[in-house]
Structures are given as C-alpha cells and as structure tokens.
Chain A
C-alpha cells in the first residue's frame, strides 16, 4: 500500500486512479490542443475567428464535434479485412496511452517510474506505426495503402533521429529515468550560473531541434504529412474511416502531439520542475509535496508552448515529397544527430 497525500489507498483504488489519471492526461491535452491551436490559432493565422457559436468563443465546439462523430454511421466497406480494419484505430490510440505511462508530472505523480523510461517511450512510440499500417492495409483502398506504406517508411525513418537526439540527453543526464533527467536539469548549473538550472534545450539545442523535427514527422503534421496528404491521398490511411473510428484517429493524432510535447518538455525544458535553487531543494527527495499539484500545470504550460511551435509550423509550411523526406532524414538528420552525440560524449568525458 502506498499513500497519496497521506491517505492510504488499496491496490484497486490505485489502479482506478491511474486509469482515470491516464484518461485525463491524454484527453485533456488533446482537447486543449484541438481547441486552442487547431480551432483558434489556425483561424487567427488565416484571418478568421474560427468556431464562435457553440459556447463562449466556441469553447464547446469540441463537444459538438465529438457528438457529431459519435452519431455517424460506422461504415466498413465491402472488401475490408473487418477485424484488422476495426482494430487499427484502437492500436493507434493505445500507443498514445502507452506513451503517457512514463511521463513524469511531478516528483511522485508518474504512472510508472521506469528506470529505462527513455528506452520505453522510444519503443512504445513506434506502436502507432503498426496501427497505421494495419489501417492502410485493411482498408482495401489504393490511397490508404499508399498512405499506410508512406507512414511506415516515414515513421521508421524518423524514429532513428529521435532516438539519436534523445541519446544526447541521456549521455548528459547519465540516466534513462525521466524523473532523474528532470532532476538533473533543475539542479545543475550552466557555467556556474545556478539560478536557471540547466535545461538541456540550451546545451543540447541541436538535439532539441532534431527531436522536434522528428516529432513533427512522427505526428505526420505538415511539412511531413504525406501519409495523410488530403490533397493527393485524400487522408491516406484514414480515407475509409468514419464515425467514432475516425474520431479515435483524430484524438490519437492530437493526443500524441500532446504526449510528445510532454516528453520533449521533460527531456529538454526541465519537465515539471522549476529550478530547485529557487526553493532551496537539493534533490528529488527534498521537493515539496505540492509540486505534485503544481508540476502538472508547469508541464502543461511547457507542453502548450511546444505544441504552439509544432502547430505554427504546421499552418505555415507546405509538405515535402516522400523521397525528399527520406533524403532529409537519412542524409541530413541522422548524420547531424550522430555528430551531436559524438560532441556531447567528448565534452562529457573531457569536462
């Protein structure tokens, strides 16, 4: 039995809390991202207001959209592989939920404090490829097939730079535990200047850039959205989906954006923490209990800032061609991230 806020909770209660917490941790960012960025920011960048009718400033639009999708017919075309077709969105959404498991929201507010957290999220992040391939293959549609294959090629190509960019952080933090990485960022100092801690975005700026580009590609957002390319492949692997299965893809897309931004914030921006110097904490055990409440808010804010950048790029850039994307990944990003690792390693040993 463990205690949360000094209350003893039985095991089933913990599990229930974790499930509920997971739902909130996945759906709340997804909702916030869709409303704030997809509805409002995109509209404002295009000189319009976006949804305004449902609720004040259209804030209830999300519920209306979800309601719309839920009441639509769940169509599965004639020649589809029924089981795989129906399973695919679940697999995609599942990968999002698996990702949130290791994200630390506070010193103790983490679903599973794995020692190899970085390793885990890199592994689990690729599960969605499986779902997308399943969707593309099972749809019995040439556009979907092309989209699915493109997605597979793209996600695998960008998995590597992501891994390599993360390695720089791991080398610097000397740990694969995400909470330890947060602690390191908030206790160390840059050139003896302790007040800001040491967010790795400064020392690992190249890694951060590569990571964000890879995230953009993992999320299949423009300029890397060839798998869904609505003007050529008519939404690619999602072409044949309708109703709540499409909704699952949709939620997965934006929830994954949120989760990846959480992870990027954890790896590079100091995660849930503020520099421990501010409150005189020395290490993770010193941190006051209230950081479990404030920490998620801090992380959420950092997530929003990162998603803003992701979406800003999304609404500005046209998309690459598939071969250009592969060239960019294999001939530019991967060598660059390898160089980044080498430099980080040398500096780590030398300094």
Chain B
C-alpha cells in the first residue's frame, strides 16, 4: 500500500473529529447548564465542624501561607456530671479562612487532631469582591452539608 501523505492524513483526522462531534456530541460540558461532578477527594472548599474545634491553632500554624485566622477564649462549661467541677473549655470566637490566599494544600485538614476540618468538593463560591472570599465560621459551617463520605480504598490497601 502506498504511503498516505501526512497532509491528507491530517485532513482526515480533523474531519473524523468533526464527524464524531456531530454524531456523539462534544467532549466539553456546557458549564452553567450541566455540571461535572468533581471526585470525592477533590479539594474544593474547607468545611468546619465547629463543635469539634478546640481552637488549638494547629491548623493556623501549619498553614504555609497563614490564611487561617483563629481567635478563642477559655470559658467554663457546665460540669459533665451533676455536682462535679465546671470544666474549662476553649470557645471559638473567630475562625476565618481567606480563600484569596489559600493554596488548597490540605495541610490544615490533615493536621487537625480533632476532626474539625473537612474537604468538600464544592467549587462554586467565587465572589465579585475579593474581601468576600474570607469565609467566617458560619459560612465554613454551612459547607459541612456538602462533605461526602471518604471513598472506599482500592484492593490491597493495608493498614
């Protein structure tokens, strides 16, 4: 068989893709009308489970660009058992993440010893004003609803 010149072959490739797009549809997604669902592990936005947070500042300190702002104070909580001494707990006053600075590295989620931070694959939270990207603890708490269960692991995953 004689060799097909590359110029002709190239035309064939583009025409082939043209036909495939007409027949099977495009590979692109028309974004606002249909959405791709990101994988479970996708690092979209960080959600805060406020009850678990003890304002220990670990996340804030391990953040590579220091975009987590935490303020807290110690206060007395009612005793667990009747008649016991009132406990001293750390109360969270402020927990802000500045998504304009965040590098989405996930170190804060990883270091949290009390399971207070989670990744959610949600990604639609762009804002016209950069200051609005600073999410306070109420807003971070709202993301908790979108946090999925961790995926099952591939076979052979050891403990």
In the assembled complex, A251 has its CB within 8 A of some CB on chain B: no
Which residues does chain B contribute within 8 Å of A49, judged by CB atoms? Answer: 21, 26, 28, 30
Interface residues on B, range: 10 to 19
A44-B22, A47-B21 known; A312-B28 Cβ under 8 A: no
B 91-104 to A, binary, CB cutoff 8 A, 1 in contact else 0: 00000000000000
In the assembled complex, B76 has its CB within 8 A of some CB on chain A: no
Please determine whether B11 and A316 come into contact, CB atoms closer than 8 angstroms: yes
Please determine whether B17 and A44 come into contact, CB atoms closer than 8 angstroms: yes
In the assembled complex, B150 has its CB within 8 A of some CB on chain A: no
Please determine whether B14 and A47 come into contact, CB atoms closer than 8 angstroms: no
Partner of A47, one of B10, B15, B28, B30: B28
Please determine whether A45 and B28 come into contact, CB atoms closer than 8 angstroms: no
For A223, the closest partner residue in chain B by CB is: B7
A48 vs B20: C-alpha distance in the bound complex, in angstroms?
A: 11
Partner of B27, one of A41, A47, A315: A47
In the assembled complex, B18 has its CB within 8 A of some CB on chain A: yes
Which residues does chain B contribute within 8 Å of A313, judged by CB atoms? Answer: 11
In the assembled complex, B13 has its CB within 8 A of some CB on chain A: yes
A52 vs B14: C-alpha distance in the bound complex, in angstroms?
A: 21
The count of chain A contact residues (Cβ–Cβ below 8 Å) is 14
Which residues does chain A contribute within 8 Å of B7, judged by CB atoms? Answer: 317
In the assembled complex, A71 has its CB within 8 A of some CB on chain B: no
Please determine whether A312 and B30 come into contact, CB atoms closer than 8 angstroms: no
A 42-58 to B, binary, CB cutoff 8 A, 1 in contact else 0: 01111111001000000
A46 vs B16: C-alpha distance in the bound complex, in angstroms?
A: 10
Which residues does chain B contribute within 8 Å of A44, judged by CB atoms? Answer: 17-18, 21-22, 26
Which residues does chain B contribute within 8 Å of A46, judged by CB atoms? Answer: 17
Please determine whether A312 and B15 come into contact, CB atoms closer than 8 angstroms: yes
Please determine whether A312 and B21 come into contact, CB atoms closer than 8 angstroms: no
Please determine whether A48 and B26 come into contact, CB atoms closer than 8 angstroms: yes
Please determine whether A47 and B17 come into contact, CB atoms closer than 8 angstroms: yes
For A50, the closest partner residue in chain B by CB is: B26
A48 vs B30: C-alpha distance in the bound complex, in angstroms?
A: 10
From residue 304 to 320 of chain A, which have CB atoms closer than 8 A to chain B? 312-313, 315-317
A315 vs B13: C-alpha distance in the bound complex, in angstroms?
A: 11
A48 vs B18: C-alpha distance in the bound complex, in angstroms?
A: 9
Which residues does chain B contribute within 8 Å of A316, judged by CB atoms? Answer: 10-11, 13-14
Please determine whether B10 and A41 come into contact, CB atoms closer than 8 angstroms: no
Name the distance in Å between A61's Cβ and chain B's nearest Cβ: 14
Which residues does chain A contribute within 8 Å of B10, judged by CB atoms? Answer: 316-317
A49 vs B28: C-alpha distance in the bound complex, in angstroms?
A: 7
A317 vs B20: C-alpha distance in the bound complex, in angstroms?
A: 20
From residue 128 to 172 of chain A, which have CB atoms closer than 8 A to chain B? none
A47 vs B15: C-alpha distance in the bound complex, in angstroms?
A: 11
Please determine whether B11 and A312 come into contact, CB atoms closer than 8 angstroms: yes
Which residues does chain A contribute within 8 Å of B13, judged by CB atoms? Answer: 316
Which residues does chain B contribute within 8 Å of A317, judged by CB atoms? Answer: 7, 10
Which residues does chain A contribute within 8 Å of B17, judged by CB atoms? Answer: 44-47
From residue 2 to 56 of chain B, which have CB atoms closer than 8 A to chain A? 7, 10-11, 13-15, 17-18, 20-22, 26-28, 30
For B11, the closest partner residue in chain A by CB is: A316
For B22, the closest partner residue in chain A by CB is: A44
A52 vs B21: C-alpha distance in the bound complex, in angstroms?
A: 15
Name the distance in Å between B17's Cβ and chain A's nearest Cβ: 5
Which residues does chain A contribute within 8 Å of B11, judged by CB atoms? Answer: 312-313, 316
A interface residues with partner B (beta carbon < 8 Å): 41, 43-49, 52, 312-313, 315-317
Lowest 7 CB-CB distances: which A-B pairs, in order? Answer: A44-B21, A48-B28, A45-B14, A47-B27, A316-B14, A49-B26, A316-B10
| Inter-chain pairs besides A47-B21, A316-B11, A316-B13, 5 sampled, C-beta below 8 Å | A43-B26, A45-B18, A49-B30, A312-B15, A316-B10
A-B contact pairs, 23 of them (CB 8 A): A41-B18, A43-B21, A44-B17, A44-B18, A44-B22, A44-B26, A45-B14, A45-B17, A46-B17, A47-B17, A47-B20, A47-B26, A48-B26, A48-B27, A49-B21, A49-B26, A49-B28, A312-B11, A312-B14, A312-B15, A316-B13, A316-B14, A317-B10
